[in-house]
Amino acid sequence: MAVLGIDIGGSGIKGAPVNVSAGEFLDERYRILTPAPGRPDQVIEVIHRIVDHFEWEGKIGVGFPGVVQHGVVKTAANVSSEWKNQDLALMIKEATGCFTVAINDADAAGLAEMQFGIGKEYKDGFVLFLTVGTGIGSAFFVKGKLWPNSEMGHLKVRGKDAEDRAGDATRKKEELSWKRWGKRLREVLEIYDFLFSPDVIIIGGGVSKKFINYSKYLKGVHADVVPAQLLNQAGIIGAAIAAEESIIID
């Protein structure tokens, strides 16, 4: 079954048709820069361009950087605050005529990783999936079932949001070595580990492909800590899965 997956980010909006049975793109990913400040009308216009690019008429799944309930945005990160209480799924359906499901972007990436990535090895356990990029997104899975909108990147660590202390944007901004940043990330993971006792913590997002550079600094976390496998494809694939399975988050 083919579904158009779209991943909305603060810097770019990306989409591709996905074979949801195989977890594979059916065409090359298409990316458009997110227009500042990322207002609803601007983002919907970009999504319309992506739909037109693929001449799409089927289901659409969308991952959004914030809490999403029943397709309605409750919080927004790295895009305009005007998104609050906007029905993203309905807006896309009205703009394109396509059935649309919208969920949190980290939840989407986690769905993909659990179904087609390393998460398959832990499908009977308790998994904490993290996307570490500009911020820290999170998704919990208990025996393969998603606990949505966890937003663990906003848990306070040393008086700051965890993502402001150990996100990849912070590493770059402060020009931290992998060692110094890895120790910060370990501190955050140790708190998550203490509070929730997951069997495994999967590190996704842009830093997952650099896991070898900082993994040795994560020792001391009781849960297994492993890198994700789907890299920058996860958000698109997971959004498509959500639409195919009609996962509507309460």
User: What is the overall mean pLDDT for the chain?
Assistant: 96
- With a CB cutoff of 8 Å and minimum separation 6, the contacts of 233 are 25, 29, 112
pLDDT digits (tens, 9 = 90+) for 4-18: 999 999 889 999 999
d(CA 172, CA 65): 20
Residue with tokens 């110094």: 180
Nearest to 6, CA basis, from 74, 48, 62:
62
d(CA 22, CA 24): 5
> What would the two tokens of residue 3 be?
């579904």
What pLDDT is attached to residue 198?
98
d(CA 62, CA 74): 15
Task: List domains and CATH numbers for the chain.
Answer: 2-104+233-244 (3.30.420.40), 118-229 (3.30.420.40)
Whether 123 and 109 have beta carbons less than 8 Å apart is answered as no
d(CA 114, CA 216): 24
What pLDDT is attached to residue 58?
97
Residue 219 burial (C-beta neighbours within 10 Å; 0-12, 13-18, 19+): exposed
Whole-number percent of the chain with pLDDT over 70: 99
What pLDDT is attached to residue 134?
83
d(CA 27, CA 179): 38
The DSSP code sequence of 199-223 is SEEEEESGGGGGHHHHGGGGTT-SS
What pLDDT is attached to residue 250?
56
Buried b / exposed e along 89-98 (16+ C-beta atoms within 10 A): bebbbeebeb
Give how far Cα 108 sits from Cα of 41, 159, 181, Å. Answer: 23, 29, 26
Does the pLDDT at position 231 exceed 90? no
pLDDT digits (tens, 9 = 90+) for 86-131: 999 999 999 999 999 999 999 999 999 999 999 999 999 999 999 9
pLDDT digits (tens, 9 = 90+) for 57-96: 999 999 999 999 999 999 998 899 999 999 999 999 999 9
Note the residue count of the chain: 250
What pLDDT is attached to residue 51?
98
Give how far Cα 20 sits from Cα of 152, 164, 216, Å. Answer: 27, 34, 35
What pLDDT is attached to residue 13?
97
pLDDT digits (tens, 9 = 90+) for 143-183: 999 999 999 999 999 999 999 999 999 999 999 999 999 99
Instruction: Report, as an integer, the average pLDDT of 227-249.
Output: 92
> What would the two tokens of residue 135 be?
């911020």
Helices 234-244, 105-116: crossing angle, 10 deg rounding? 90
> What would the two tokens of residue 146 be?
């998603």
Instruction: Report, as an integer, the average pLDDT of 14-32.
Output: 98
Does the pLDDT at position 202 exceed 60? yes
